[in-house]
Amino acid sequence: MEVFDALLTRQSVSAKDLGLPAPGAEEREKAFAAALTAPDHGAIRPWRFFTVEGEGLERLGDVFAASARRAGGDDKEAESARGKALRSPLLIVCAAKVNPGHPKVPVVEQVIAAGCATQNLLTAFHALGYGAVLVTGGRAYDAGVKEAFGLGPDDAIVGFLHVGTPTQPQRPRNRPPVAHHVRAWP
């Protein structure tokens, strides 16, 4: 797929509409290589990607359920949170491992770099023929979820990237005209 085709046709696919197969090892390697080309002030490479599949999804579901309970959720909310980890055959936790004391690169730039790498990853999977969706929610900000991935309080989970093969046909999305978002200045 040509780069502009991938960028202009990419759309989020509901996680519950993603099934097997997930990308294989060679496709993942290619997609992660694309992610690593993201802009990165200071070449500090703050992005971290954690692939979760198979039994790991069940364990992540337990982590999500515990997070929901810490947030005051009841059993129903905990089970709902658990289920969110199980929606797709591959879930990638996309994170920014930041250095708050970096002399030249503020934390916000480090998180943005991880976000750019995540966008590259999302677009790469689309170009390879897979569906994906990036989600956040309360689990992305929970200290216990971060800790489960070896992340500290200053680090950020950019999102949870669900990846798989779309099980439903996708309708093209209407996009706003470019002129709605681009202005000449001054």
Is the entire prediction scored with pTM above 0.85?
Answer: yes
| CA 45 remoteness from chain centre | 16
**Within-domain flag for 172:** no
Give Dmax (Cα) for the chain.
55
Tens of pLDDT, residues 126-139: 999 999 999 999 99
Higher model confidence: residue 1 or residue 69?
69
Which residues form the domain of 144? 3-52+88-165
**Within-domain flag for 58:** no
**Within-domain flag for 171:** no
Q: Domain total for the chain?
A: 1
Q: Is the pLDDT of residue 173 over 90?
A: no
**Within-domain flag for 178:** no
**Within-domain flag for 136:** yes
The confidence score (pLDDT) of residue 183 equals 93
**Within-domain flag for 181:** no
**CATH code for the domain of 134:** 3.40.109.10
Tens of pLDDT, residues 97-110: 999 999 999 999 99
Tens of pLDDT, residues 75-85: 999 999 999 99
**Within-domain flag for 75:** no
Band of pLDDT at residue 35, cut at 50, 70 and 90: very high
C-alpha distances out from residue 5 to 79, 83, 170, Å: 39, 33, 16
**Within-domain flag for 26:** yes
Got the DSSP string for 110-158?
A: HHHHHHHHHHHHHHHHHHTT-EEEEE-SGGGG-HHHHHHTT--TT-EEE
* Three-state DSSP class for residue 151: coil
